[in-house]
């Protein structure tokens, strides 16, 4: 069996520093103190990969560096110089097609998924190791370990291959608090229900808006306790800001902070959150899972890193979601980058779903 394997070395760098993506902003991410994450995510996958296969890969940071210490059999079939680009990803995929690989395993985000699909389309199955800031496409495993399991099952003929959306988000609009997603195409990808994430769903209806308002009314009651409230992304959380009179100030897709009804931090990155938390004795975090995917942490909100969550305290995390969203989400997922923290977050928790109402929901590790 032959596997095509590539890494987008800069994938995910914009997350913790609040850039909501890294496309065209790698240098700005580094300036803000970001460090490459994709190689570590890829290593975590390869460490779990027990497979007698030849890995065809790219030179340097696009694959070779990680495979060199993996113990897996590999061959470099595409070389690049300098910093890798979208064009290198596409050229590598063309080479994989010539070599006749059975599956392309890539490490990156939605932009990388689009680059791979733009070349192979439906000719070769593809599977993503999640490493980007936002991963709305359904071609990603829920975690690096999940990707390893899927590849193994695919090689053994135990995983079905299905059509999966390749989504693309307009990053410039995303940074303006506008979520503009387009289905770029339908790729073929190995599939097992508990190992592959679903595409993002956006729930919008009159009943949904009413449910968000009821949740927000309840939140306003308990937010009078003098605590610092960290507000995550999404329309459910944004409704709380609207009722506080902060709708114009709250970032829809960022992380903000409110205390005593006033905005005290806007579009915060990891370091800004840590500095803000230093002077606070009482802190709560309000978050809402991504519709249908179910991710609470690890998709689009990497500012809420393991360090930030430890500082806040897991007992101070409050999850909110409308009944419709919960009904469409079999279980919640966490992928903080810390296995120990993901384990502690796992289990059952109460999700606020209406005015003074909560529903128990299972949380699983990504």
Start-to-end CA distance of the chain, whole Å, equals 27
pLDDT of residue 182: 79
pLDDT of residue 343: 95
Cβ atoms within 10 Å, residue 183: 13
pLDDT of residue 197: 65
Dihedral sign from CA coordinates of 305, 248, 199, 93: negative
In the numeric block, which tokens belong to residue 66?
A: 């990680």
In the numeric block, which tokens belong to residue 180?
A: 């503009």
pLDDT of residue 267: 93
**Domain boundaries along the sequence of the chain:** 2-191, 206-365
Same fold, 2-191 and 206-365: yes
pLDDT of residue 33: 59
pLDDT of residue 183: 84
Helices 206-222, 235-243: inter-axial angle, 10-degree rounding: 60
Fold of 206-365: Rossmann fold (3.40.50)
Cβ proximity of 42 and 58 under 8 Å: no
DSSP-derived letter for residue 226 is S
pLDDT of residue 344: 95
Look up the CATH architecture of domain 2-191: 3-Layer(aba) Sandwich (3.40)
pLDDT of residue 176: 61
pLDDT of residue 299: 87
pLDDT of residue 50: 82
Q: What is the pLDDT of residues 161-171, one digit of tens each?
A: 999 999 876 66
pLDDT of residue 31: 62
Q: Which residue stretches of the chain have pLDDT < 70?
A: 12-36, 134, 169-181, 197-206, 292
pLDDT of residue 334: 94
State how far the Cα of 131 lies from the Cα of 142, in Å rounded to an integer.
11
């Amino acid at each position: 069996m032959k596997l095509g394997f590539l890494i987008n070395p800069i994938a995910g760098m914009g997350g913790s520093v609040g850039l909501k993506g890294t496309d065209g902003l790698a240098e700005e991410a580094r300036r803000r103190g970001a460090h490459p994450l994709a190689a570590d995510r890829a290593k975590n996958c390869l460490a779990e990969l027990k497979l007698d296969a030849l890995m065809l890969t790219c030179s340097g940071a696009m694959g070779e560096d990680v495979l060199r210490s993996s113990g897996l059999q590999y061959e470099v079939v595409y070389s690049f110089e300098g910093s890798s680009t979208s064009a290198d990803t596409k050229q590598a995929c063309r080479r994989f097609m010539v070599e006749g690989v059975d599956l392309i395993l890539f490490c990156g985000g939605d932009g990388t998924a689009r680059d791979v699909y733009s070349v192979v389309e439906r000719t070769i199955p593809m599977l993503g190791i999640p490493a980007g800031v936002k991963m709305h496409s359904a071609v990603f495993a829920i975690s690096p370990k999940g990707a390893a399991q899927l590849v193994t099952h695919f090689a053994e003929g135990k995983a079905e291959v299905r059509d999966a959306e390749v989504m693309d988000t307009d990053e410039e609009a995303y940074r303006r608090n506008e979520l503009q997603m387009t289905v770029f195409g339908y790729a073929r990808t190995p599939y097992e229900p508990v190992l592959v994430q679903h595409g993002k769903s956006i729930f919008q209806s009159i009943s949904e808006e009413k449910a968000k308002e009821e949740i927000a009314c309840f939140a306003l009651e308990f937010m009078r306790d003098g605590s610092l409230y960290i507000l995550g992304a999404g329309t459910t959380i944004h409704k709380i800001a609207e009722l506080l009179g902060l709708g114009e100030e709250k970032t829809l897709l960022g992380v903000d902070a409110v205390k005593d009804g006033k905005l005290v931090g806007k579009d915060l990155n990891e370091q800004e959150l840590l500095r803000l938390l230093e002077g606070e004795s009482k802190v709560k975090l309000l978050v809402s899972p991504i519709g249908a995917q179910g991710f609470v942490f690890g998709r689009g909100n990497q500012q809420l890193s393991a360090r930030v969550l430890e500082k806040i305290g897991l007992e101070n995390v409050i999850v909110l979601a409308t009944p419709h969203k919960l009904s469409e989400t079999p279980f919640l997922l966490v992928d903080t980058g810390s296995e120990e923290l993901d384990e502690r977050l796992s289990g059952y928790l109460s999700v606020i779903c209406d005015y003074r109402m909560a529903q128990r929901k299972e949380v699983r590790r990504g």
